[in-house]
Structure 1
Amino acid sequence: MMLLLPWQLQAQPPEQETQAETDTQIRQRLTGIYEVLEPLSAVEVDVRDGVVLLSGAVSNETQAERALSLAEQLPGVILVDDGIQRRLDVQGNLSPLLQQLENNVMQWLRALPLFAIALLIFAVIVYLGYALARWSALWQRLTPNAFLSELVAQTVRTIAIMLGLIVALSLMGATTLMATILGSAGVVGLAIGFAVRDTIENYISSIMLSLRQPFRANDHVVINEHEGKVVRLTSRATVLMTLDGNQLRIPNSTVFKAVILNYSSNPQRRFAFELGVDAADDPVAAMKVGTDAIKALSFILTEPEPNALIQTVGDSNIVLCFTGWIDQEKTNFGRARSLAIRVVTSMLDEQGFTMPEPIYRLRFDNTDPIATALEAGSNDSVNKNDMHHSNRGQSAVAEMGSKRQMIDSDRAVAADKLLDVSPDTHLEAMVNDERAQKHDDDLLDPQRPVE
C-alpha cells in the first residue's frame, strides 16, 4: 500500500458520487414526476448504471411516448428501455378526450365576450370602409372616369375587410392564426395570379385605355386587321361595328398592344389610284389632264391640291398614280375615289391617250372540208328562213326599242345616285342605336382628349 504525504493529500480532488447514488437519484426523480402526472402514475422505474428501465401500463401510445420523453431529458441517463404496456382501454382513452373537450368549451365560453367585442370592431371597420367606398362624388373627383372610380371603391372595401380582420385577430391574441392567414393568402394570390394572368393583363389594359383613349365612339378605325366603327369600350373588350354591319369584340389586351389606324381623327383624307397609258404617249401631258379633271370635281379640296406621279414603267405602258384630298365629314371616301377614276379615265380617252389593253394572238389552221360543207348548208337554210322571220323581226326590234328606253331611264336614275358623294350615315346610325341601349360599363368619355 502506497502512503501519501500531507501535501499530496491536499492536492487530491473531492470524492465524487458513486454510480449507485446517481441511479437512485434518477429513479426517485422520475418516480416523483410520474406520480404527479396521473396518466403516468402506473409506470414503474428502475435505473442501472445510467440505463432507465420503464415498465407498468399506460392508456395509449401517446402517454407511453410522453413517459419515454421525460426519462430521456434527465441528466445522467444513458439509455431508456421501453417496457411500458399500452392497455388501449376505453375509459383510459375516452376520459382525457372528454376532459380536453370540456376544457376547450369552457375556454371558448370565457372568450365569448372578447370574441363579441372583436366581431363588433370588425363590423364597424367594414361598415366604415363600405360607407367610404359609396362616396362616389369623392372618387369621381379624384379619378378621370367611372371605371377607375369603381376600382378605387372596390380597393377601399378590400382594405377595410383586411384591416378589420387584422384588428379582430390581434385583439383575440390569434397572431399566429393571423400570420398563417396572411401567408396562405399570399401563396393563394400568387397561384391565382399565374392562373388568371391573361385576365389581369386584360384588366390592366382596360385601365390604361380608359386613361389614354385612342379613339371616340363612332370613329372609323383599323385595329390590326380588324376595321369598323367604334361602338364602346368596356372593362373587358372594345366593341366595333364592322363595315358589313356585324358586331366585333376585341380583347382590350390586344387593343392596347395593337397598331391602331384612326381615319376619323383627321377629317381630311387622301385617295389614290393608278392608271396606265401607252408607252408612246407623253406621261407628263397625261398627268396634267388627269389632275385638271380631278380639280374640276366640286368635292375635291383645293388645298392640298391633287397630284400625279409616274409610278412604274412597264414593257408596253406607263403607270401613273393620281391623288386627291377630300373632307370625310362632307364626302364619302369610296364614292369620291370612284368618280375621280371615272372622270380621269374619260378625259384621258377624250384627249387621245391610249389605255393599254391585253393583246391576244390568234392562230388559224387549214379549215376542215367537212366543216366547210356543213357551214355552206347551214347558210342555205338560213337564207330560206329569212323571209319567214322578217315580219317577226320587225316587231321584235320595236319591242327591244321600248325596253331600251326603259333601261336608259333606269340607268340615269342609278347614275344620279352614284354621283351623290355625301357621307353614308347608315352605319353611323346603327352605332348610335347600339349606344342608345343602356350600358353602364362604357369607358369612352367624350370630355377626354384622344391620345
Structure 2
Amino acid sequence: MKTIVFMLLIYAKINQPSFFINYRWIASANGALIVFLGPSTAVSFLRLIIIYWYIRKHRLKPNIKDNFILGINRIVSILNTAFGIIAFMIFMGIDPMEFLTSITIVAAAIAVTFKDYITNMINGLIIMFSDRLSLGDHIKVQDTEGKILDITLINVILQNEDNDMVIVPNSVIFSSVIINQSKQNIKKLSIEFELSLQFGYSPDYLEKYLNTSVGKFTDYIVSGGLTIKTLAISKDVARFKVQVLLNNYDKLKEREIRRALNTAVIRLSAPEVQ
C-alpha cells in the first residue's frame, strides 16, 4: 500500500495537475509525503528482507516473538518518526539542514535534559539485540523477580508471581546484576527461615524432613534438588535457607511447593502441632 501511494504521488509530482498550481499547499503536501514515504517504504522493504533472512537462518516460526525482530521493529519506528519530522518541516517550508544547524546549541541542551531517556533507549536497543535476555525469560533483578513480557525503548515489563506488571527502566536492567533462570533450564525456589536452637534440629534432619514434605511433587523437582544451607547461627536461633531446583516453569506447582515448604517450616517452629 505504501509503495502504491508513493508511486501515485510521484506520478502527480511529474504531471503537475492544475490544482497543484491553484492550491500550492497541495503541492507542498505532495512533496512532503514523497519525502516521508520514499525512505519509509525502502526501510520497510529492508526490514522484511532482514526478518525473512533471520527467520530462515534460525528456522523460526513466521509469527515468532524474538528480541532481534523486536529491535528491528523499534529501529524502523524511530526512523519513520525522523522521516515524519523532516517531511513536516518541508511542508511548513523549513529547510531541515538549516534548521538543524541553527538549533545546535538548543539540541545540545535538549540532549542533556533528556539524557536519561536517551540512555534508556540505547540500553533498550542493546538488550533487544543481545541474547542474554529474551521475551519469556524468568529473571531476577535487584529485589524484583518475574517473566519478561515486553522490552521497549524505555523499560522492561515483567510479570511477577502475583501476576502484577512491574516496569523496570532499561538503565536499571543494564547496570544491575541479573539472574536469568531461564538460561539455566531450571527454576530455583528459595525460602529463608529461622528456628530456635532449643529444638536441636540439624541441617541433615531438616533436609530429610523437608524432602518428605514435598514428596508428592517429585515429578517437578530435580532429583536431589532440595538442599539446606546454614546462613547464620546466633545465641538463640539459627537461620537456614532451603533451595529447590524445579524441572520446569509451572507457576501453579511452584506455588504449591512453596506452600508445602512453608507449612512444614511452621510445623517445625511449633512441634506441639505436629
Cα displacement string for residues 81-118 of structure 1 (whole angstroms, at most 9, x for unaligned residues): xxxxxxxxxxxxxxxxxxxxxxxxxxxxxxxxxxxxxx
Larger Rg: 1
Are the aligned partners of 1:287 and 1:309 in contact in 2 as well (CA < 8 Å)? Answer: no
Instruction: Measure, in 2, the Cα distance between the counterparts of 1:343 and 1:335.
Output: 12
SS for the counterpart of 1:335 is helix
Are the aligned partners of 1:293 and 1:343 in contact in 2 as well (CA < 8 Å)? Answer: no
Is 1:305 the counterpart of 2:217? The answer is no
After TM superposition, the structure 1 = structure 2 runs for residues 213-292 of structure 1, keeping only pairs within 5 Å, are 214-217=133-136, 219-265=137-183, 266-274=185-193, 276=195, 278=197, 281=200, 283=202, 286-287=205-206, 289-290=208-209
CA shift, 1:318, in A, is: 5.7
After TM superposition, the structure 1 = structure 2 runs for residues 38-49 of structure 1, keeping only pairs within 5 Å, are none
Is 1:336 the counterpart of 2:257? The answer is yes
Q: What corresponds to 1:141 in structure 2?
A: 49
After TM superposition, the structure 1 = structure 2 runs for residues 339-354 of structure 1, keeping only pairs within 5 Å, are 339-343=260-264
Instruction: Say if 1:236 and 1:179 are closer, same or farther in 2 by CA, change over 3 A.
Output: closer
Q: What corresponds to 1:73 in structure 2?
A: none
Are the aligned partners of 1:294 and 1:324 in contact in 2 as well (CA < 8 Å)? Answer: no
* Letter aligned with residue 259 of structure 2: S
Instruction: Say if 1:216 and 1:275 are closer, same or farther in 2 by CA, change over 3 A.
Output: same
CA shift, 1:336, in A, is: 0.8
Q: What corresponds to 1:3 in structure 2?
A: none
Q: What corresponds to 1:293 in structure 2?
A: 212
Instruction: Measure, in 2, the Cα distance between the counterparts of 1:282 and 1:225.
Output: 30
Instruction: Measure, in 1, the Cα distance between the counterparts of 2:175 and 2:244.
Output: 32
Instruction: Measure, in 2, the Cα distance between the counterparts of 1:252 and 1:285.
Output: 43
Instruction: Measure, in 2, the Cα distance between the counterparts of 1:138 and 1:196.
Output: 30
1:211 is aligned, of 116, 129, 133, to 129
**Could you list the runs of 5+ residues in structure 2 that have no partner in the other structure?**
1-26, 52-68
Instruction: Say if 1:158 and 1:258 are closer, same or farther in 2 by CA, change over 3 A.
Output: same
Cα displacement string for residues 227-246 of structure 1 (whole angstroms, at most 9, x for unaligned residues): 44444333443334455554
**Could you list the runs of 5+ residues in structure 1 that have no partner in the other structure?**
1-119, 164-168, 170-177, 350-354, 358-451
Is 1:132 the counterpart of 2:53? The answer is no
* Letter aligned with residue 336 of structure 1: I
After TM superposition, the structure 1 = structure 2 runs for residues 14-413 of structure 1, keeping only pairs within 5 Å, are 127=34, 130-135=37-42, 136-142=44-50, 144=69, 145-155=72-82, 183-212=101-130, 214-217=133-136, 219-265=137-183, 266-274=185-193, 276=195, 278=197, 281=200, 283=202, 286-287=205-206, 289-290=208-209, 293=212, 296-299=215-218, 301-315=221-235, 321-330=241-250, 332-343=253-264
Instruction: Measure, in 1, the Cα distance between the counterparts of 2:79 and 2:97.
Output: 26
SS for the counterpart of 2:246 is strand
Q: What corresponds to 2:21 in structure 1?
A: none
Instruction: Say if 1:196 and 1:267 are closer, same or farther in 2 by CA, change over 3 A.
Output: same
Instruction: Measure, in 1, the Cα distance between the counterparts of 2:210 and 2:35.
Output: 72
* Structure with greater proportional strand content: 2
SS for the counterpart of 1:303 is strand
Instruction: Say if 1:199 and 1:138 are closer, same or farther in 2 by CA, change over 3 A.
Output: same
Instruction: Measure, in 2, the Cα distance between the counterparts of 1:197 and 1:284.
Output: 51
* Letter aligned with residue 340 of structure 1: L
Instruction: Measure, in 2, the Cα distance between the counterparts of 1:280 and 1:239.
Output: 44
CA shift, 1:341, in A, is: 4.7
* TM-score of the aligned structures, taking structure 1 as reference length: 0.37
SS for the counterpart of 2:78 is helix
Instruction: Measure, in 2, the Cα distance between the counterparts of 1:327 and 1:260.
Output: 21
Are the aligned partners of 1:139 and 1:153 in contact in 2 as well (CA < 8 Å)? Answer: no
Identity of aligned residues (%): 15
Instruction: Say if 1:334 and 1:190 are closer, same or farther in 2 by CA, change over 3 A.
Output: same
Are the aligned partners of 1:221 and 1:260 in contact in 2 as well (CA < 8 Å)? Answer: yes
Are the aligned partners of 2:196 and 2:238 in contact in 1 as well (CA < 8 Å)? Answer: yes
Instruction: Say if 1:294 and 1:186 are closer, same or farther in 2 by CA, change over 3 A.
Output: same
SS for the counterpart of 1:239 is strand
